[in-house]
């Protein structure tokens, strides 16, 4: 059984899937009852990690019949379905906001995502499967919505991580009373089309042939693994590495929040590290967009052990503050190699998150202790903001405050304001 204080390395041994957030729970194979197996599966679901089958079929054509027939929320009560619908449909739908921004050129990238309306599936001279210019190498992740496969482009020779979906499967998979998994995927695409930041996984191309069932998201390939790869007890990643990673996470999340985007599932699995040691935030499948600073949500779709206290109570909460709590849990894990609040069941975990005091070892760096306690403050109104984290003494260290990123849309805004000011001066003269 996974007990309180168990290390991240032990969690990794359970088979965490950290490839672009494809960590959905599959239907389990029937087996002889075994208490250890049940405990293992229960903890996997608490961590929102996939309980994988032993067989790993790389055949691009094969689609799991169980996945086709299952639907997220089939075992929900009517009240729970209503709660989920409330989360999926804030007062102003993310999809409507995203479409408005797209139609009015309000995107944060100098060069738009490439959109390809034709799918050509073939083989290269070595018999390797191809999608358009991309040569398939091997699968690097999977989940209920689809799979993530490593491809190499014949045009530029670079590797790309491609999320592959079957539209027919997405349309059958209901995630809320009035929405299917296709809604989630299309919202994720729309969000990623907006983004351009060094600490965000970049969407390169969308391949969607209206006459084909296949749908692809071509993403930059981050060669490194999730942030806990290689971390072992008892010291986690160490303060220097954790500080560097945290600075990247906060920089990327501040960028998202400044564009009124709530990630909704910040956790190590969704934080990929490049060969150069840069952290990039991935998986926007449960993210939401708001028209203004009013980021109120009702139910959290994120991972239980990273859920903020206010989200455990079934009340309205602020998405940005919940993201910040998840950053605190991630930092705690990086420093101490374990989760701050983890019970044997979902309800036990929520009870600990809401009621238990955080444990920190004696002798911990006082500045780091202050930062962790500020991030994991149970009162969201008193919780540290990301702006405060960016200038916190422990984060600043010997490097300095996290630099402000001037994104494309902000540069354009500043440029237009400057032109407007100059025009006013000329008119006055």
Task: Name all domains of the chain by residue range, CATH numbers in brackets.
Answer: 77-220 (3.30.200.20), 239-408 (1.10.510.10)
**What is the rounded CA–CA span in Å between residue 40 and residue 399?**
42
pLDDT exceeds cutoff 90 at 370: yes
The residues near 360 (Cβ < 8 Å, ≥ 6 apart) are 369, 372, 373
The pLDDT of 119-141, averaged and rounded, is 93
**What is the rounded CA–CA span in Å between residue 358 and residue 373?**
8
Is the pLDDT higher at 357 or at 180? Answer: 357
Report the pLDDT value the prediction gives residue 130, as an integer from 0 to 100: 95
**What is the rounded CA–CA span in Å between residue 303 and residue 306?**
6
Please tell me the total number of residues recorded for the chain in this structure: 429
56 is catalytic: no
Report the pLDDT value the prediction gives residue 73, as an integer from 0 to 100: 36
- The per-residue pLDDT for range 292-347, each reduced to its tens digit, is 667 777 766 678 999 999 988 877 888 899 999 999 999 999 999 889 999 999 99
Confidence of residue 427 (pLDDT cuts 50, 70, 90): low
Q: To the nearest whole number, what is the mean pLDDT of the chain?
A: 76
Residues within the annotated binding site for ATP? 163
Report the pLDDT value the prediction gives residue 401, as an integer from 0 to 100: 86
**Residue in the structure block whose two tokens are 């239907």:** 27
Report the pLDDT value the prediction gives residue 421, as an integer from 0 to 100: 53
- In the set 49, 184, 208, 265, the catalytic residue is 265
Helix axes 35-46, 346-355, angle to 10 degrees: 50
Report the pLDDT value the prediction gives residue 404, as an integer from 0 to 100: 80
Report the pLDDT value the prediction gives residue 66, as an integer from 0 to 100: 38
- The per-residue pLDDT for range 221-269, each reduced to its tens digit, is 998 766 665 444 456 888 999 999 999 999 999 999 988 899 999 998 8
**Residue in the structure block whose two tokens are 């930092």:** 331
User: Roughly how many angstroms between the first and final C-alpha of the chain, as a whole number?
Assistant: 78
The pLDDT of 123-132, averaged and rounded, is 93
Helix axes 319-336, 239-258, angle to 10 degrees: 170
Phi, psi of 238 (to 5 degrees): 90, 155
Report the pLDDT value the prediction gives residue 180, as an integer from 0 to 100: 85
- Provide the Cα torsion 191, 192, 197, 200; round to 10°: 110
Helix axes 319-336, 366-375, angle to 10 degrees: 140
- The per-residue pLDDT for range 161-209, each reduced to its tens digit, is 999 999 998 998 887 777 888 988 988 998 898 889 999 999 999 999 9
- The per-residue pLDDT for range 19-65, each reduced to its tens digit, is 222 232 233 333 333 433 333 334 444 655 443 433 444 454 444 44
* Inter-residue contact 305 to 266 (CB < 8 Å): no
**What is the rounded CA–CA span in Å between residue 106 and residue 121?**
34
């Amino acid at each position: 059984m996974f007990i309180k204080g168990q290390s991240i390395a032990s969690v990794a041994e359970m088979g965490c899937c950290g490839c672009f957030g494809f960590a959905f729970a599959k239907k389990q194979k029937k087996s002889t009852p075994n208490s250890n197996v049940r405990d293992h599966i229960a903890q996997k679901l608490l961590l929102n990690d996939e309980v994988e089958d032993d067989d790993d079929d790389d055949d691009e054509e094969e689609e799991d019949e169980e996945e086709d027939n299952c639907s997220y929320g089939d075992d929900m009560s009517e009240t729970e379905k209503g709660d989920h619908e409330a989360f999926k449909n804030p007062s102003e739908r993310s999809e409507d906001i995203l479409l408005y921004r797209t139609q009015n050129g309000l995107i944060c990238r100098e060069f738009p995502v490439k959109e390809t309306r034709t799918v050509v599936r073939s083989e290269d001279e070595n018999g390797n499967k191809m999608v358009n210019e991309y040569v398939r190498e091997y699968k690097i992740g999977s989940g209920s919505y689809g799979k993530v496969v490593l491809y190499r482009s014949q045009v530029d020779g670079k590797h790309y991580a491609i999320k592959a979906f079957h539209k027919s499967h997405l349309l059958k998979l209901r995630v809320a009373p009035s929405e299917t998994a296709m809604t989630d995927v299309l919202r994720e695409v729309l969000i990623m089309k907006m983004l351009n930041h060094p600490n965000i996984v970049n969407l390169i191309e969308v391949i969607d042939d209206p006459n084909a069932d296949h749908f692809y998201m071509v993403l930059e390939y981050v060669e490194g693994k999730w942030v806990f790869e290689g971390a072992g007890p008892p010291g986690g990643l160490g303060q220097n590495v954790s500080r560097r990673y945290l600075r990247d996470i906060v920089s990327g999340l501040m960028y998202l929040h400044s564009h009124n985007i709530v990630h909704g599932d910040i956790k190590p699995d969704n934080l990929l590290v490049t060969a150069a040691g840069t952290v990039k935030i991935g998986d926007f499948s449960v993210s939401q967009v708001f028209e203004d600073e009013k980021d109120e949500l009702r139910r959290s779709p994120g991972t239980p052990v990273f859920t903020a206290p206010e989200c455990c109570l079934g009340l309205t909460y602020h998405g940005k503050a919940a993201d910040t709590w998840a950053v605190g849990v991630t930092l705690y894990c990086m420093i101490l190699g374990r989760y701050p609040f983890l019970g044997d069941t979902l309800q036990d975990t929520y009870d600990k998150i809401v009621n238990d005091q955080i444990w920190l070892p004696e002798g911990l760096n006082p500045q780091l202790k202050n930062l962790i306690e500020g991030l994991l403050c149970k009162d969201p109104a008193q919780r540290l903001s990301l702006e405060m984290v960016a200038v916190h003494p422990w984060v600043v260290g010997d490097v300095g405050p996290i630099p402000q990123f001037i994104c494309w849309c902000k540069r354009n805004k500043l440029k237009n304001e400057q032109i407007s000011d100059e025009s006013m001066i000329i008119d006055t003269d």
